[in-house]
Chains A and B, each alone.
Chain A
Amino acid sequence: MKTIKTGIGRRSFIKSVSLAGGGLVIGFNWMACKRAVEAENKNVALEMPEEWFELNGYLKVGDNGVVTIYSPNPEIGQNVKTSMPMIVAEELDVDWKNVVVEQAPLNTDVFSRQLAGGSQSIRQGWETLRMAGATARQMLLMAAADQLQVPIEELSVEKGIISHKNSDKSIGFGEVAAAASKLEVPEEVQLKDKKDFSIIGTSRKNVDAKKIVTGKPLYGLDTYEDGMLIAMIVQPPAFGKRLKSFDAESIKDMPGIVDVVELETFKEDYKRSAFDIDAFDKLVVVVGKSTWEVMNAKKALKVEWEESPDIIHDMEIFGREMTVNHPKGLENTDGHKKMMEQIASKGTKIEVVREDGSPKKAFKNAAKTVERSYYAPFLAHNCMEPMNFFADVTDEKATLIGPIQTPEFMERSVSERLGMPKEKIDIQMTRMGGGFGRRLYGHFVTEAAALSQKLKAPVKLVYTREDDMAFGTYRPSYHVHYKAALDENNNLVGFHVRAGGIPESPLFSNRFPAGAVDNYLAESWTIDSNITTGAFRAPRSNFIAGAEQSFLDEVAEAAGKDPIDFRLDLLKKAKENPVGEKNDYEPERYAGVLELVRKRSNWDTGSTGKNRGVAAYYCHNSYVAHVLDLSLKNEGVSIENVYCAIDCGIVVNPDAATNMAEGGSIDGIGSAMYGEISFDKGVPQQNNFDNYRMIRHSEAPKNIDVAFVQNDTDPTGMGEPPFPPVMGALANALYKATGKRFYSQPFIKELNEYNENKVLKS
């Protein structure tokens, strides 16, 4: 029998004070984890203890010295399920071999910010995770001092063994765990000096890898509970349409079909949060016994749709009241483009966000100006595992299991939707088959919960790929117009960015090159739409980085300067003589990644004869630079090398971070080169992988070189930063290969045009 010691409810309270000696003293109260979670084994089978002792909400120690560490945040492939426990294990001084990792459920009493988003899991969890490990270590030491009858100062710990300096006495964690769990939690503990880290900064394998490669149930879609029904949605075929009526009888007699119901995702007067975005207020749901039967019935269902009126949602977005408009109408991509170009050229309905110096004068007196526009379409996230959630709602409680990046927010949404207090709602997170921002928006959690309540049965709601891709929550469509002024010495003296999108602007007015140009103007505009959008890996940066970095390339060329030197000169100015006060980047670290990528790619001596592009960008508190080499091949491109240099502070798990950077680079190339959701009369023209082009094996780079700037700054974002800049490097390399600049994504279309023109000319 395994028993788990539990504590009494004291909310965790954290304060931190820096010490003169470089260490950190922290004080807090803990409450122990209230819930037991099924044990998961790592790649190596470990002998399980007879008894577990919970030392705080983050970990428990077994009587044989095995330690279970709960990973608090959702795992979407960013590998926090390995790297967050590594941080706890570091301060605990346990042998990583003896650590078992479990996914913690949503538990707001113990954990804060159980969210996968903004590349913040490690950055914001850093101190708390360290504290959790250090506290437990301290308690184990206290118990050991008592047991060995020696002063605590004379004890040291290595890999779960506590030894006495002045004698040969030693004792394992397992032997003192019981006693330690009865101690008062210390008010203060000391954190390690970073130079003493022995787990952080070393590569540790994905704790779920063995399960992944052997096909064990891990994902939401793998949930199968007794008596569970399968449900699928039928949604309007176009944005701007809504449900008019449906004929349940048309499919009720089909094999395996249990029910056909109308479902409202949210109650009418509900105030939505930032993550309660949904495209359609009402859905038809087909419920049955098996997936295939429901899929068939769903296709056969007779439904009538009608045009929907203007929709206005009052939302509460991170404490701010906001009104979101979805005007009626059936929208087209061509129409979108025309509207965007019109606003960008006419300058109406535009907001000035930042102005330094006198941009007008600078452009009037310029020796040379460069002026260009860039465009990108909507994108679908296309997580490999389509949206889904399991719900079992009874009068007593709601059990919800599945893939969600924002469990805490969903607890509120579900509570409001069901009319059930939060205490009765249990949300369990599965490993996710991708997130990319899509699973921040958990309408499917609420849908599953409401459906289970209605049917009085456990149910798994499953989106088909087509449902998933046509459901909105897309990356917005963006446009930006840039203008640069050079003086007679080819210095950049004026910069004008006018950025907008449907429905949001991608502008970051305080990012580079703001601060590096004397006369700077940043403007923003938006267009409302009934096509819903949401955060997509590195929101806004995922467009503006590529556009800005290819524009700067063109400006560097006009100035007759090497593109890296040109950027470094600007960064030097931003450091030594910054313009304005609000600049949101550190020029030195920015320059650092450019210097590193220059070295890694052999830029100065090895660029001749290569179609090579460079780009650098800052987002999510990290800096990334890319150099990319490509060649034209059979009408397409072959990406030969990608060099990626990153400054994200301390790298917790280097090989996993490298994997993330490789994936981000590939994703960036794929999205910019091939990705697009377009519309005709409100109907998304792509709804599966036969018409939405995803980057594939043969299109991936042959080589990716990832390098990290070595420093001991506290860790910053890793999941998103390697994604945006590679798009700029790609555009700049395409220019080298074709002699033509690429302004409009997906680049494959421009490349096809180039190829056609070549054929016509020859």
Chain B
Amino acid sequence: MAAFKININGKTETVDVDPQTPLLWVLRDHLKLVGTKYGCGIAQCGACTVHLNGSAVRSCQLPISAVQENQVTTIEGLSENGDHPVQQAWLEVDVPQCGYCQAGQIMTASALLKENPNPNDEDIETAMNGNICRCGTYTRIKAAIKTAASKTQSA
């Protein structure tokens, strides 16, 4: 066990856990930030995606000891009122079915748009390929990413 100070959604949190504990379980079990989901635990599904300094990472494979000074953003901290353009686009397109994968999809998509504000189909497919949606909302996700891109462009 060891104490770790981490920056999450703009706040500093302290947790006392095994250094190997993946960030995913620190978020869920210790900080009760349950928006970040467990799907596979082996970086294959993307359900646990968060931002580390703005880039999408799989929190199930990131030991808490590796987080250090970096800024962690989870779905709860993506926007204050749930109105990030990607979240808005998701609502407009009414993407979710069961919804379980969607926080991870949104985190990957928002990181993509930050890097590439106007992605084409192939860019989207490449960036999103690590995020499984068992319900098969892929075409809607693509549409929502394009909607979000146009929002950001016109904003």
Identify the A interface with B (CB < 8 A): 43, 76-79, 203, 205-206, 208-210, 212-219, 221-222, 224, 230, 255, 290-293, 295, 382-386, 431-436, 464-465, 655-656, 659-660, 662-667, 670, 688-690, 694-698, 700-704
A214 pairs with B135, CB closer than 8 A: no
Shortest CB-to-CB span from B49 to chain A, Å, is 11
Given known contacts A385-B37, A659-B95, what 5 new A-B pairs fall within 8 Å (CB)? A213-B82, A213-B96, A290-B25, A433-B98, A689-B42
Q: Which residues of chain B are near A255, meaning CB under 8 Å? A: 1, 18
A77 pairs with B82, CB closer than 8 A: no
A205 and B94 alpha carbons, distance in the complex (Å): 6
B97 pairs with A213, CB closer than 8 A: no
Shortest CB-to-CB span from A519 to chain B, Å, is 40
Shortest CB-to-CB span from A646 to chain B, Å, is 16
A414 and B133 alpha carbons, distance in the complex (Å): 32
Q: Which residues of chain A are near B133, meaning CB under 8 Å? A: 384
Closest to B106 in A: A213
Contact of B96 among A212, A290, A432, A662 (CB under 8 A): A212
Which size class do B's interface residues fall under? 35 or more
A291 and B38 alpha carbons, distance in the complex (Å): 11
A224 and B29 alpha carbons, distance in the complex (Å): 8
> Is there a chain A Cβ closer than 8 Å to B114's Cβ?
no
Q: Please list the 6 inter-chain residue pairs (A to B) with the smallest Cβ-Cβ separation, ordered nearest first.
A: A215-B35, A77-B98, A433-B100, A666-B136, A215-B75, A663-B136
A292 pairs with B91, CB closer than 8 A: no
Interface 1/0 per residue, B64-75 and A, CB below 8 Å: 000000000011
A695 pairs with B76, CB closer than 8 A: no
Shortest CB-to-CB span from B41 to chain A, Å, is 6
Closest to B127 in A: A697
> Is there a chain A Cβ closer than 8 Å to B149's Cβ?
no
Shortest CB-to-CB span from B137 to chain A, Å, is 6
A398 and B121 alpha carbons, distance in the complex (Å): 50
A435 and B135 alpha carbons, distance in the complex (Å): 9
Contact of A698 among B21, B30, B47, B125 (CB under 8 A): B125
A224 pairs with B32, CB closer than 8 A: yes
B136 pairs with A293, CB closer than 8 A: no
B136 pairs with A667, CB closer than 8 A: yes
Shortest CB-to-CB span from A387 to chain B, Å, is 12
Shortest CB-to-CB span from A292 to chain B, Å, is 4
B87 pairs with A694, CB closer than 8 A: no
Closest to A465 in B: B40
Most buried by A among B30, B139, B140: B139
From 99 to 155 in chain B, residues with beta carbon under 8 angstroms from any chain A beta carbon are 99-103, 106, 121, 124-126, 128-142
A685 and B35 alpha carbons, distance in the complex (Å): 31
A660 and B136 alpha carbons, distance in the complex (Å): 9
From 24 to 47 in chain B, residues with beta carbon under 8 angstroms from any chain A beta carbon are 25, 28-30, 32-42, 44-45, 47
Q: Which residues of chain A are near B99, meaning CB under 8 Å? A: 77, 206, 208-209, 212, 218, 431, 433
Q: Which residues of chain A are near B96, meaning CB under 8 Å? A: 77, 206, 208-209, 212-213
Determine the main DSSP class of B at the interface with A.
loop
Most buried by B among A210, A293, A464, A697: A697
B125 pairs with A697, CB closer than 8 A: yes
B28 pairs with A212, CB closer than 8 A: no
A428 and B74 alpha carbons, distance in the complex (Å): 28
From 75 to 90 in chain B, residues with beta carbon under 8 angstroms from any chain A beta carbon are 75-76, 78, 82, 87, 90
A384 pairs with B94, CB closer than 8 A: no
B38 pairs with A434, CB closer than 8 A: no
Identify the B interface with A (CB < 8 A): 1, 17-18, 20-22, 25, 28-30, 32-42, 44-45, 47, 74-76, 78, 82, 87, 90-91, 94-103, 106, 121, 124-126, 128-142
Contact of A656 among B82, B94, B98 (CB under 8 A): B94
Closest to A203 in B: B94
Closest to A222 in B: B34
B139 pairs with A662, CB closer than 8 A: yes
Closest to B130 in A: A696
Shortest CB-to-CB span from A272 to chain B, Å, is 28
Closest to B34 in A: A222
A222 and B36 alpha carbons, distance in the complex (Å): 10
A704 and B140 alpha carbons, distance in the complex (Å): 10
B44 pairs with A690, CB closer than 8 A: yes
Q: Which residues of chain A are near B32, meaning CB under 8 Å? A: 224
B34 pairs with A434, CB closer than 8 A: no
Q: Which residues of chain B are near A656, meaning CB under 8 Å? A: 94
Shortest CB-to-CB span from A642 to chain B, Å, is 9
Query: Contacts A79-B97, A224-B32, A665-B136 known; A465 to B41 CB distance under 8 Å?
Result: yes
A292 and B65 alpha carbons, distance in the complex (Å): 14
B25 pairs with A291, CB closer than 8 A: yes
B91 pairs with A659, CB closer than 8 A: no
B36 pairs with A660, CB closer than 8 A: no
Shortest CB-to-CB span from A470 to chain B, Å, is 13
Closest to B126 in A: A698
B94 pairs with A663, CB closer than 8 A: no
B98 pairs with A76, CB closer than 8 A: yes
Shortest CB-to-CB span from B48 to chain A, Å, is 11
A213 pairs with B102, CB closer than 8 A: yes
Closest to B131 in A: A697
Closest to A290 in B: B29
| Cβ contacts A to B, 30 pairs, < 8 Å | A79-B97, A205-B94, A206-B94, A212-B99, A213-B75, A213-B82, A213-B96, A213-B106, A214-B75, A219-B100, A221-B38, A230-B29, A255-B1, A291-B25, A291-B38, A292-B21, A292-B22, A384-B133, A385-B98, A465-B40, A465-B41, A656-B94, A662-B139, A663-B137, A666-B139, A689-B39, A694-B132, A696-B138, A697-B125, A697-B141
A760 and B66 alpha carbons, distance in the complex (Å): 48
Query: Contacts A255-B1, A384-B47 known; A212 to B42 CB distance under 8 Å?
Result: no
A230 and B25 alpha carbons, distance in the complex (Å): 12
Most buried by B among A203, A218, A255, A292: A292
Shortest CB-to-CB span from B127 to chain A, Å, is 9
Contact of A688 among B18, B40, B97 (CB under 8 A): B40
Contact of A662 among B75, B126, B137 (CB under 8 A): B137
